[in-house]
Each structure stands twice: as C-alpha cells, then as structure tokens.
Amino acid sequence: MSAPNPSDSGSARRLVRPAVAALAGYVPGEQPSDPRVVKLNTNENPYPPSPRVAEAIAAAAGNLHLYPDPDSSALRRAAARLYGVDPDGVVVGNGSDELLAMLLRAAVDPGEVVAYPIPTYSLYDTQVALQGGRSMHFPYPADWSLPEAIFGCGARVFFICNPNAPSGTLVPLDAIERLARENPGSIVVADEAYVDFCDGTAVGLVGRVPNLVVLRSFSKSYSLAGLRVGLAMTTPALAAELLKVKDSYNLDRLAQAGALAALEDQAAMRANVDRVRATRARLSAELGRLGFRVVPSETNFVLAYGPGESQEGVARSLKERGVLVRWFRALPDALRISVGTDAQVDRLLDELRSLVAR
C-alpha cells in the first residue's frame, strides 16, 4: 500500500481539527498473521473460550439481516446477576476501550484533567488527548501502591488500571474506595481487565459508591479478545449519562450472543484462569533463575526486569526467533511477557536461555 503524498497530507491535515492533526495515534501491539509466531505480546489468553461461545454465535448468525438489540439487554441482565449489580447500571461496549472513550466523552470538557498512576495502559494518554483533556501522571512508588499525591489532585476523572498493566500489581480496595470518597464530584474508574486472575475486585462497591465505575473486559479471562466486548458497572443514574454518548448499535448480534454464552460458563473461564496462574508461577520462577527480577503478578502477564540494562535488544532478538514479547520505551530495562501455554512459555525460556548464555 502507498504512503500518503506529503502535500496531500498537508491538505488533509487542514480538513481536521488542529488537535487531531498534531496527534500521533495509538500503536497497538503487533498482531502477526503467521500462526507459528509465539505471541506473548498482547496479553491474550492462550486457551480457547467455552465451546458454548461458538454454538451461540452460530445460532445468532441466522438473523444477521436484523439490527441487534441496541440495549444488549440479555447480556446486561446476565452480567448484573453474576456480579450482583443493578442491570440498569450495566453498560456494554465494543471492548472496554470503547467504554473508556465513552467515559471521557461523557465527562471531560477541553482542558479538564484526567489523572492516573504511571506506567499504565498507554491508550489512556491517546484517548485523553483525543478528547482534548489534560493527562496528569503520578508515578507509582517502588511498592506499586497508589501514589499519595493523586488523592488531592482535583481531576475530573481518575483511571486506575487494577491490577495494573504493565506492572501486574494490584492496589487494595480501600485505596480505590478512599479515592472515590475523597473526590465525590469526580468519576473514579477501576479498570479491572485483569481482575479475574486475582482477588481484589471493586465490584462490591458498585452502587454504594455513586461515582465509581468498574470496567471489565472479555478479552483476557474469557478468551474473547477477538470478539470485542467490555462491561461498565456503576449506578443506573451514571449509566444513563454514559448511554447518551454510546453509538446506538455498538455491539453486534454475534458479540452479544458470544459474550452471554461465555458469562454463563464460569467453569470454563475459571479452568483457563487456573491454568494460566499455574504457568505464571512456573514462568516467574524460571525467569528468576535466569537473573530477571519479576514483579509478583496478579494478571496473565509478568513484568520482568532484566539482568542487563536495556531489554530492547533482547525483545528484538526474541522477535527474530519468532517469539513476541512487549518492550516499552518508558520501561527500557524490562520485558512484559504474556503467560502463554506451557509449550509457548517453554519456547520463550529456551530462547531466553540461549540469548543469556551468549
């Protein structure tokens, strides 16, 4: 495909908002199409979802000529039952990424502040810039607790990725509750994409703490990264405001049906989570033996600080050998490694051993 002609680019930039013309855009992790690549770079679940998902999708494929339910009612009711929240407080999104964007669109006027501890999910920066908001960053202390300075910073919205990516660490529930209670005019978002891999969900606070929103994703524990479904849980009143900025048919028939089937088979999800946790323990121990310092992980990935200074070269060498892991410019001496199958993890460890031995 051809690169845009520079003079065309200049004209096109004059057709859009200056803020957009200046934007670089979010770069997602690499998604190679070669199935031989060992893909440990985007925190996917290496195991397939419940077999009921494919059955539900096949059944729903019979009615594709009709619009989906704009309210995703069946899915919202099932989520409400499972998590013990009011169904009118549940909003579903095309991935939790869409829910993050909806929260910003609903709550942030130009120049208003969105605060979060860093390092964290880098999409927050992109989305805040897009909405014209101002990101306020609070570096995590060495023990990965919530930075004290964030509590009084007066942000309009707080994003707490909990457990956090890329550290894999969890802040305690009482810190989330305190943040919400001390900032009653702001929205506190607990982005719990990885919470099924640990204990520590804030979902029990939903409804009791009126300015709290808990986000969940089907991409990790439910093995449905390819289906794009996320959930927001909050009060019915705040959900009603979020619904105003939702695309009316944001979730297609197949995604609604597949996510519902996945929710209704908790045993399948739990079995996959248990397998991932067992492999995570083994991966962490082996990385330790190779000289990495591994942050204790509550998620389906580990953050491993290497024995050498920069890990950029290690990530590149692994890629040349067909193993993808994530390296971040902001954390140059670490690798973020998703927990794959045992065979994938063995392959990674073999390659790492041969690299370290050189």
Q: Which of residues 152-211 bind its own copies (CB under 8 A)?
A: 185-187, 210-211
Work out how close the CB of 308 gets to its own copies at its nearest, in angstroms, rounded to a whole number.
Answer: 30
Residue 17 is a binding residue for its own copies (CB under 8 A): yes
In 3-state terms, what secondary structure has residue 29? coil
Stretches 12-20, 137-145, 164-172, 289-297: which one binds its own copies (CB under 8 A)? 12-20
Asked if residue 42 binds its own copies (CB under 8 A), the reply is: yes
Is residue 82 within the footprint of its own copies (CB under 8 A)?
no
Residue 39 interacting with its own copies (CB under 8 A)? yes
Phi, psi (rounded to 5 degrees) for 216: -130, 155
CA distance 195 to 334: 22
Residue 235: both structure tokens together: 């009060």
- What count of Cα atoms within 13 Å lies in the side-chain half-sphere of residue 146? 25
* Nearest distance, CB of residue 103 and its own copies, angstroms: 9
Is position 252 an interface residue for its own copies (rule: CB under 8 A)? yes
- Cβ atoms of 167 and 303 closer than 8 Å: yes
Closer residue to its own copies (CB): 16 or 330: 16
Binding-site size, its own copies (CB under 8 A): 96
What does 120-177 look like in DSSP terms, one character per residue? --THHHHHHHHTT-EEEEEE--TT-PPPGGGTTS--SEEEEESS-TTT-----HHHHH
Closer residue to its own copies (CB): 64 or 330: 64
* Position 21 contacts its own copies (CB under 8 A): yes
Any bridge partners for residue 161, and if so which? 191
Residue from 113, 130, 290, 331 in contact with its own copies (CB under 8 A): 130
Least separation in angstroms between residue 77's CB and its own copies is 8
Of 108, 161, 260, 345, which one interacts with its own copies (CB under 8 A)? 108
233 binds its own copies (CB under 8 A): no
Residue 25 binds its own copies (CB under 8 A): yes
Contact between 54 and its own copies by CB under 8 A: the answer reads yes
Question: Closest by alpha carbon to 234, among 246, 243, 225?
Answer: 243
The pairing of beta strand 90-93 with beta strand 230-233: antiparallel
